[in-house]
Amino acid sequence: MKFRSRLVVDLNQLGENHQLIKDLAPQAQTLFMVKADGYGHGMIPLVRFAFLELGIKEFGCASVFEALRIREELPDLDVDIYVFSDIQLELQENVGVYLEKRLIPVLSNVSEINYILTHPEFSHLPLCLKFNTGMNRLGLSLDDLEDIVDVLKKYGRKSVYHLMTHYANGSFPMVGNLRNEWQRARFYEVKDFLRTNGIMIERSSMANSGAIEQKMNVDETHVRPGLMMYGPSSLNDEYKMHSHWKGKVISKLETYIVRTFDVKKGTPIGYCSTPCPHDGVVAILALGYGDGFSTRYVGASLYHQGFKGTITGRVNMDMAQVLFPVEARSKIKAHEMFTIWGQTEGDLKQFSDETKTIPYEIFCSLLPRVPRVYEIGGI
């Protein structure tokens, strides 16, 4: 079968990235974040591979819908599935969903805790509590700690299945950044308060990708890698010296050249009649915003056969124009495969920098029209 465009995902590299995480956090279990369809790489194949080949047994989603996909498409896998944000506990029909499908809601509001504790059918549901230590997004307030302990005891709960928080500044240094240090201290306060008041903590996690690659909070029972499992570092460039991360991008975005033609400087191209800035050869790629290749990518550099081209003119729904120098005329040919990222080490990072976006967004923007193809071995 011929693919118009495709995202080739190297499952072997996913395994190598996970081993590098295990090297950084040898005592911690992995709660693998696979929300947004596995950061655009395809949640179901990744979960299957991670469970069967890597031994990962815990996965994080953003919504009930995502969690249900795992349960319904991989019914035989004995895994814990956490729902982190869109838990929808206020909907009565979800009572049965959480129980029947064995999903774990991440509770970030006192009303959610009360809802669970006051419904007898949830008496054995694992309690996962997420505290706001300074992210100021979702999370339980430290001001409610005493009330939380009281209500847990009132309903006979003696333990928290998983206690967690989330760093706001994970792309900054873990040591020396006041917000990160503040959050860490607050999380330890929460742990101490619960234990002092007789509440056992079965599992705990604080380290997202940025913390893991700095070897911070890897002594908790779990780490929660997201972006780093897919390859890129989470740290801002100016702080990369703090990183121990050696992972590689697990995917390669490929398309093909539909047509090529010569142009002179000033020749208008495509919608809005953008004039070419110099003489050259134009390659029309079979990739556009209908595939998730954004109009914001105009001006970014792409490479083919050793030549540097520039995305020129407006990106179309189904196509994009790349302008190469005159010298590339004999090398840029129609019907050849064309690699957007994954051709050389660091090309996704360069593309991300030039388009003023982040790898998360580039990955997640890819739409279903781009097939995901899975390989084991080098891509």
Per-residue pLDDT, averaged over 15-44, amounts to: 98
**Please, are residues 194 and 175 in contact by the beta-carbon 8 Å criterion?**
no
Q: Please say if the pLDDT value at position 235 is more than 50.
A: yes
SS3 of 349, please? helix
- Token pair 């005329």 is found at 329
- Measure the CA–CA gap between 198 and 201, rounded to whole angstroms: 10
C-alpha 199: how far from its chain's center? 32
Picking from 66, 134, 142, the residue whose alpha carbon sits closest to that of residue 110 is 142
> Residue 378's pLDDT is what?
54
What is the distance between the alpha carbons of residues 293 and 296, in angstroms, rounded to a whole number? 8
What pLDDT does 147 receive?
A: 97
Q: What is the mean pLDDT of residues 73-79?
A: 96
Give the closest residue to 220 by CA, choosing from 196, 238, 243, 203.
203
**Torsional class of 313: left (φ above 0), alpha (ψ -120 to 50), beta (otherwise):** left
Residue pair 245/233 in contact (Cβ under 8 Å)? The answer is yes
What's residue 92's pLDDT? 65
Cα–Cα distances in angstroms (integers) from residue 63 to residues 36, 93, 196, in the given order: 9, 15, 33
pLDDT, tens digit, 9 for 90 and up, residues 310-344:
999 999 999 999 999 999 999 999 999 999 999 99
Per-residue pLDDT band at 2 (split at 50, 70, 90): low
How many Å apart are CA 338 and CA 324, to the nearest integer? 13
pLDDT band per the 50, 70, 90 thresholds, residue 173? very high
Of the candidates 322, 211, 303, the one whose C-alpha atom is nearest the C-alpha of residue 258 is 322
All domains of the chain, ordered by start, with CATH? 11-242 (3.20.20.10), 251-375 (2.40.37.10)
- 179 with 134: CB under 8 angstroms? yes
pLDDT at 73 over 90: yes
Residue 204: pLDDT over 90: yes
Is residue 140 within 8 Å of residue 107, measured between CB atoms? Answer: yes
- pLDDT (0 to 100) of residue 91: 65
Question: Are the CB atoms for 304 and 277 separated by under 8 Å?
Answer: no
**Which residue's entry shows tokens 């509770």?**
107
CA dist 94 → 97, 107, 115, 126, 272 (Å): 5, 14, 12, 15, 49
> Helices 178-196 and 145-154, interaxial angle, to 10°?
30
Q: Tell me which of 151 and 100 has the higher pLDDT.
A: 151
**DSSP string across 239-252:** GGGG--------EE
* Residue 113 to residue 151: CA distance in whole angstroms: 9
Instruction: Find the Cα–Cα–Cα–Cα dihedral 53, 229, 212, 185, rounded to 10°.
Output: -100
One-letter amino acid at 199 equals I
In this prediction, residue 42 has a pLDDT band, given cuts at 50, 70 and 90, of very high
Q: pLDDT of 157-167, one tens digit each? A: 999 999 999 99
Report pLDDT digits (tens) over 221-231: 999 999 999 99
Once rounded to an integer, what is the mean pLDDT over residues 345-357? 94
pLDDT at 359 over 60: yes
What confidence tens digit (pLDDT) does each residue in 90-148 have? 766 677 788 889 999 999 999 999 999 998 889 889 999 999 999 999 999 999 999 99
